[in-house]
Chains A and B, each alone.
Chain A
Amino acid sequence: MSGTTGPHAGRDLITAYVTGDTTLPADAEWALEAHLENCAPCRRHVAEAVATHTPTVNTLLDRVWAEVAATAHDLPAPVRSPLLRAVRRWAPPSQLPWLLMSVLVVLSALGIDMLARERDVPSLVLLLAPVVPLLGVAAAWSQRLDPMGELTATTPRAGLRMVLRRTAVVLGVVIPVLAVAGGIVGVSPALCLLPCLAFTVGTLALGTVTGLRRAAALLGSAWAVGAIVPSLATARLSVLLAPESLPVWGLAVTVSALAITVRARAFTTLPGTELP
């Protein structure tokens, strides 16, 4: 482009363009217009040049805007809260009731623990901690629990990242509540939170095969039968929640996380009869 300095249009070129200089070659004018379409700083220079050299253009533009505003039926769309929009992109509204339910479960367990403080029984908060997030995780990527499931599944964003986003929201809500409840009851935070994490990651891993809803139901009932019922029946905490089991839980988290990375493709659709 003639009269350019570096990647931008020169002032004299812009002035010639604005004043309608007839000596300006057509190709230079064309190139300048193409450049202006994608260059905000040069457009600003044009606006400045118009203001100084041909102020009549500005008065004409003002009049046109006033006329357009007078005839426009609709007001511009109101600016909605960007915060709300961001929240919805992380967690769809269909997940909210499940999250509330999870919090309520923890609070009820806490209430029962407080009532049974004098008696020597295992803490219900500790026993329920691993399965509390499963409600929300199941709702994160199940067609039946998400009204927009069918639409979501056909979009390019459907996939592991979306599932992880929604799972992160579940953990973001459940973990603080569990940590506080565990603190009040006086159980070790590691024993409270590591199994919880292991079950969440495990559900995602199993969910790549069976679908998250089924995986959550399977793991949840397995935990109820294998740990909650025996612990309550014998009034002694299951060995699974003894401090010595922590490495096993850590291993479970790692193995499940690896399985998810290998099987990530399964989340490209919602479970059902879908593409692999």
Chain B
Amino acid sequence: MVRTVASADLAPTTYAWHIHARDLRVRAGRRAAVNGLDLRLGQGVHGLLGPNGAGKTTLIRSLATVLKPDGGELELLGRRIGGRTDLRSLRKRIGYLPQEFGYYPRFTLREFVEYMAWLKKVDARDISGAVQRAIERVGLADRADDRMKTLSGGMLRRAGIAQAIVNDPDVLLLDEPTVGLDPAQRLEFRTLLRDLGERACVLVSTHLVEDVAASCTNVVLVAEGQLVFEGTPEEVAALGDPRDVGDSPIERGYTALLARPRVRREADR
């Protein structure tokens, strides 16, 4: 256990927001999946909600530096994403769980996370410790030396989370991390999320509204590639009234918010 504090840890941040998008446009194929999105996210857990095809995955992929923004501005950790950005130093500080992630089936879980740690340029001396820590945090320590192909769907999801957090990222992007997790694991995952949100900017895409209510400090609602709402889960819950569809206050608030732009669009016509 090293107690000495590195100068990098004490250096003041030179940016106001971990993620800062202005009028961001990203295409998925030919379609403009993200179409003029403004977003400012700092440290904390942000739940990204939205109906299917709202542009959640495209947004997360562009934040993960997979997709190139088509227009507008995107700043990650104070660095503008554009043609001349040195992505290497930026990518060291990003963790990303894709919606569907591939793996080499013959790797053991430990080898998989270790390989990812190596790809993320984690210091060679810290790799084995960081890998063990990441695997323990997702609760897979007892399966660490099993091959990836023997893991169940929920375990694979957790393996994906382990590789995303292995480099202690400052920006953590999780696309549908709770798919395939059983209720007990989802509760553990919420605790992990709150824990991660203490020091990083965590953006979790999900369509399970109750996950957001339980573990997120902030809700980001997108529809048709645009930001519909940003605020706390309590604010979402307060927006719903008993006439809206849903079983819980936050679900009613969610449906109320989604109905809003539709009304506005119809009014525009």
Residues of A within 8 A of B (CB): 34, 37-38, 74, 77-78, 80, 85, 88-89, 92-94, 146-159, 268-269, 272-276
Contact = CB atoms under 8 A, between A and B. Distances in A.
Given A89-B118, A159-B88, A275-B81, A80 B111 contact: yes
B3 A157 contact: no
A156 B68 contact: no
Contacts of B3: 37
Q: Which of B3, B87, B101, B110 has the most CB of A within 10 A?
A: B87
A272 B27 CA distance: 12
A155 B104 contact: no
A88 B104 CA distance: 11
Contacts, number: 98
B7 to A, nearest CB: 14
CB-CB nearest 4 A-B residue pairs = A147-B102, A155-B119, A156-B88, A156-B91
Contacts of B110: 77
B66 interface: yes
Interface in B65-109: 65-68, 81, 83, 85, 87-89, 91-92, 94, 96, 98, 101-104, 106-107
A273 B163 contact: no
A88 B107 CA distance: 10
Nearest to B160: A151
A102 to B, nearest CB: 20
13 contacts: A77-B132, A93-B106, A94-B104, A150-B101, A151-B102, A151-B116, A154-B91, A154-B96, A155-B120, A156-B92, A157-B119, A269-B66, A273-B29
B88 A153 contact: no
Interface secondary structure of A, over-half rule: loop
A159 B121 CA distance: 13
A159 B27 CA distance: 23
Contact of A38 (B4, B65, B104): B4
A94 B89 CA distance: 27
Interface stretch (B10-18, B35-43, B137-145, B190-198): B137-145
Contact of A274 (B2, B68, B104): B68
Interface of B: 2-4, 27-29, 64-68, 81, 83, 85, 87-89, 91-92, 94, 96, 98, 101-104, 106-107, 110-111, 114-116, 118-121, 128, 132, 141-142, 144-145, 163
Contacts of A158: 91, 119
B65 A154 contact: yes
Contact of B68 (A94, A147, A275): A275
Contacts of A94: 104
A183 B28 CA distance: 51
Q: Which of A80, A93, A149, A155 has the most CB of B within 10 A?
A: A155
Contact of A154 (B94, B106, B115): B94
A112 to B, nearest CB: 34
A156 B120 contact: yes
Contacts of A157: 118-121
Given A37-B2, A157-B118, A151 B111 contact: no
B68 A273 contact: yes
